[in-house]
Chains A and B, each alone.
Chain A
Amino acid sequence: MASAPSKLYADDVSLLMVLLDTNPFFWSSSSLPFSVFLSHVLTFLNSILLLNQLNQVVVIATGYNSCSYIYDSSTSTNQGSDNGRMPARCVNLLQKLEEFVIKDEQLIKEGLREGIASSLLSGSLSMALCYIQRVFRSGPLHPQPRILCLQGSSDGPEQYVAIMNAIFSAQRSMIRIDSCYMGSSNSAFLQQASYITGGVYLKPQQPNGLFQYLSTVFATDLHSRAFLQLPKSLGVDFRASCFCHKKTIDLGYICSVCLSIFCKHHKKCSTCGSVFGQAQSDVNSTSNKKRKTPET
């Protein structure tokens, strides 16, 4: 790793982990073309690297079937075909991205799954956290890490447990997860991720002004954030997915031992194996249900 201890990391040096959603099903139906989105993001990444010489940017592609590191500013050299239209690092990034998309497409041939078009956010979150942990262990001096999710596709309830685990480990390591959601409705996962880790959740109202949003809200380092008024998340959707059918529910049963969530009453907890006693009466069983969001 290039983060040599000789470097002087001040508190405003950032390590920005960008999780780039490359879900083809989302982008083919999105109002914002992927090429425009990419140009905004690339400009944003360039400006991050220009903000501070020691800033580091890592890009992870969140695909439909896989995830992959596609860019790391600390390892990539700036040499390459600088064709005058864009910096070499962008060319490298796009090259890697194209390779990733091709590989991702090959993977889909095997297990054909239609219907839910969500990306593997849990995978890319875990990869980002692993990378940050490596940076943490590299020495006492390291840039301040944060994760920025640029997500477009809708939540995959089947990833609920994995994503929540990633969120909680990020919270525990005091890593903030910022999220910029490009989809039409709000993403409950990203709302919760930002809310729990103290990051910023933003859903741009003007998708073609994305760069403006990114540079206004997400460009500031963690230290400077203390002095800024950033958008706060309102209306966080705290609904959970049940562990049995991976459905998003707002009312359900919770295992009293391991806190697993179920949409139906089970005799036995599928997670920890605790045997539940029969509910005494109907009145009691409804009172066991916990409401996660207030009724409209």
Chain B
Amino acid sequence: MSCRQVVKRASYKSKIKDPGTPGVLTMTENKFVFRPNDPSSAAKFDVEFKHITGHKNTKEGTDKPPWLNLSDKDRCYIFEFGSFHDLHVCRDFVGNALAKSGEAAKASSAAKTTSEKSGVTLPDEQLSTAEMQLRMKLLQEDSELQKLHMQFVISGVLTESEFWATRKKLLDGDSRTKSKQRVGFRSSMILDTKPMTDGRMNKVTFNLTPEIKYQIFALKPAVHQAFLTLVPSKMTEKDFWTKYFRAEYLHSTRNAVAAAAEAAEDEELAIFLKEDAILASEARRKIRRVDPTLDMEADQGDDYTHLPDHGIFRDGSKDVMELQNELYRRTLSQDLNRQGAVVLQGRTVDVDLEDPRTVAEALMQSRRESDESAEQDRLDRITRMTEIEDLQEHHDHPVAQLCIKDPRDYFDTQQVNALKTLDDSRTGTEQKKCSLTTEEAYGSLREAISKIKSIGLKNSTVAPEIAITVLNGLTQNISSTKYQLGKNPQDSVLDSLPNKTKEELLHHWMSIQELLRHFWSSYPITTTYLSTKVGRLKDAMSQIYRQLEEIKQSDFRHQVSLLVRPMHQALDAAFQHFDADLQKRAARSGGETPNGNS
């Protein structure tokens, strides 16, 4: 927003068909004013942007004239401009103004859901457009969230900021995912950029962009090094690149003899033509670092380059070389490997690519850092490889993590206890009374053992009638509903309910969670703001409490009450705390109740 005010000549129409009243439209930060040329015309007005809920405009290139349509709740203002340029200026200004007045931005991007919410937002909330849009997006993506938002924020139970305060993570998390994706190197070989020849003249053109320069630096440490030393002290950047591409050209002709001859004449050119010394030393170091378990010879046998015409147009096997020119030879596999390594490494510097000098320096820096981490890596690997087997503990033996069980499990297992303790107390005592002496007891035990020794195992251990009662008993036990309700996560009680009830319950549960979260986080109550907030929350909760009671009256009373009970319990606990806290505060302040409803 560079300008605080826009003044344009436009004509106002109340309807599209309206011929229009010519006049001057003045837009300021929070309102727009239209003054007709004819002072007697009734079509003059002064509207604040915060009433505006939407803006539309005609597109350039259509047969429509440049119109801007601003609409509020009950009418719309159509302005016809002299040109599309005027329209665009005004449109941008309106867009900014709407965004700035906060709730209007919401209305424009999700007019259908939030058009009535504008009154709720606190005027002192200063939110950036981006944040507003993020919230809108979150609401749009998550219909449940939207429902909650509608229910509580619009009905005034919670304020906008209170609602979002518990969802900071959501807001943060989203902005993180929005961060732009890091672009890596293209995997096509930059060294294969084929020179363009125009066919008529003996001129070869190479394309060079900052991106390509960066890639060249990354791929060829020697060129990188040379650039740092030569430019700009010895030669200009342009000369440097010309020389580089000359060397590239010589390579592409695969004329090693010519390359050798040229290199002998020009020592700077030789840098580019010779084997990259830095790369070579790095390769040697890498070979030293290779995982000892890797069979490099076997790997070598696996490569495809001996196959004719396999891969790229620069085929290493065709490079027939004399030995003395070995120095100036580059093989395909070397190039390919280097390219792969650099692509995998990804971008290590994050600077503006326009200035090759800064790129070169940043790259140098990052290379140094990665060397250090590589050294640490190597040490780590060595320690891992040299583990002594005897001293290792068993990796294979599985160990369960200590965990706190699902609390529901605990209460499920407890529900029978209430009945059982009665039985236990009655039957438990009779068995402990043991009239026999130790000798007699052991004697009878030995007797039993010798008895079975003499009799042996009978043909039928269990009588058929007893077996069937056992089986029936077990089956009944397992299939009784007491075991089933809410036990199996696959088919919960909730699924047995009709969809409408199910959704209703789920929604209530969500609402209760939301309210309770706000409720408990408001304690201890230190300000009057908090106490009014708690009052509001309590009212909303008791409303839901009543609604839950109503649901309980439905056909599926038994199942529903199972689900509703924990909700009621949670609400009861909150109410109880509310009352207790209210009394405590009333007592402390000498009978003066802050809320009036003790």
Contact = CB atoms under 8 A, between A and B. Distances in A.
A101 B446 CA distance: 7
Contacts of A94: 449, 452-453
Contacts of A212: 462, 466-467, 470-471
Given A212-B462, A233-B413, A294-B414, A28 B446 contact: no
B369 interface: no
Interface string A106-140: 00100010000100000000000000000011001
Contacts of B432: 117, 154
Nearest to A188: B424
Interface stretch (A31-39, A49-57, A158-166): A31-39
Taking each of B400, B424, B435, B453, which has the highest tally of chain A beta carbons within 10 Å of its own beta carbon?
B453
Interface string A165-179: 000000111100000
B440 A43 contact: no
Nearest to B400: A174
Contacts of B448: 27, 33-35, 38
Contacts of A24: 438, 441-442, 444-445
A86 B445 CA distance: 20
Contacts of B1: none
A6 interface: no
Nearest to B441: A24
B491 to A, nearest CB: 13
A207 B424 CA distance: 18
B458 interface: yes
B399 interface: yes
A166 to B, nearest CB: 15
B591 interface: no
B449 A34 contact: yes
Interface stretch (A7-15, A234-242, A278-286): A234-242
A232 to B, nearest CB: 6
Given A172-B402, A195-B413, A208 B462 contact: yes
A15 B140 CA distance: 56
A137 B451 CA distance: 40
Contact of B422 (A211, A238, A296): A296
A85 B445 contact: no
B436 A28 contact: yes
A238 B467 CA distance: 32
Given A29-B434, A98-B450, A231-B478, A185 B427 contact: yes
B446 A206 contact: no
Contacts of B466: 206, 208-209, 212
A75 interface: no
B487 to A, nearest CB: 7
Interface SS majority for chain B: helix
A234 B470 contact: no
Interface string A282-296: 000000000001101
B407 interface: no
B445 A185 contact: no
B412 to A, nearest CB: 7
B588 interface: no
Given A174-B398, A184-B428, A86 B457 contact: yes
Interface residues of A, number: 69
Contact of A90 (B444, B457, B479, B483): B457
Contact of A235 (B416, B435, B473): B416
Given A40-B461, A183-B431, A234 B444 contact: no
A206 B417 contact: no
Nearest to A29: B434
A98 B421 CA distance: 37
A28 B474 contact: no
Contacts of B423: 185
Contacts of A238: 410, 414
A22 interface: yes
Nearest to A106: B442
Contact of B440 (A28, A34, A137, A173): A28
A184 to B, nearest CB: 5
A257 to B, nearest CB: 18
Contact of A209 (B434, B467, B478, B482): B467
Contacts of B208: none
A19 interface: no
B396 A232 contact: no
B451 A206 contact: no
A234 B413 CA distance: 4
A97 interface: yes
B431 A140 contact: no
Contact of B416 (A25, A112, A211, A234): A234
Contact of B474 (A231, A233, A293, A296): A231
Nearest to B409: A195
A28 B457 contact: no
Contacts of A22: 445
Contacts of B446: 98, 101-102
Interface in B360-419: 394, 396-400, 402, 410, 412-419
B337 interface: no
Nearest to B436: A28
A216 interface: yes
A86 B454 CA distance: 10
Contacts of A173: 397-400
Taking each of B398, B440, B462, which has the highest tally of chain A beta carbons within 10 Å of its own beta carbon?
B462
Given A43-B457, A94-B449, A136 B394 contact: yes
Contacts of A104: 442
A25 B441 contact: yes
A229 interface: yes
A230 interface: yes
B400 A39 contact: no
A39 B417 contact: no
A209 B466 CA distance: 6
A65 B135 CA distance: 71
Contact of B442 (A40, A101, A184): A101
B413 A137 contact: no
B477 interface: yes
B420 A235 contact: yes
A66 interface: no
A114 B483 CA distance: 41
A83 interface: yes
A15 to B, nearest CB: 14
A154 B457 contact: no
A293 B418 CA distance: 9
A28 B394 contact: no
Contacts of A97: 449
B455 interface: yes
B390 to A, nearest CB: 13
A101 B414 contact: no
B456 interface: yes
Q: What are the 4 closest A-B residue pairs judged by CB atoms, nearest first?
A: A85-B456, A235-B416, A24-B441, A34-B448
10 contacts: A22-B445, A24-B445, A39-B452, A97-B449, A136-B394, A154-B428, A184-B430, A185-B424, A208-B463, A235-B415
Given A39-B458, A209-B466, A293-B417, 7 more contacts: A84-B456, A154-B432, A174-B400, A206-B466, A212-B462, A237-B417, A296-B422
Interface of A: 22, 24-30, 33-35, 38-40, 42-43, 83-86, 90-91, 94, 97-98, 101-102, 104-105, 108, 112, 117, 136-137, 140, 154, 171-174, 183-186, 195, 204-206, 208-213, 216-217, 229-238, 293-294, 296
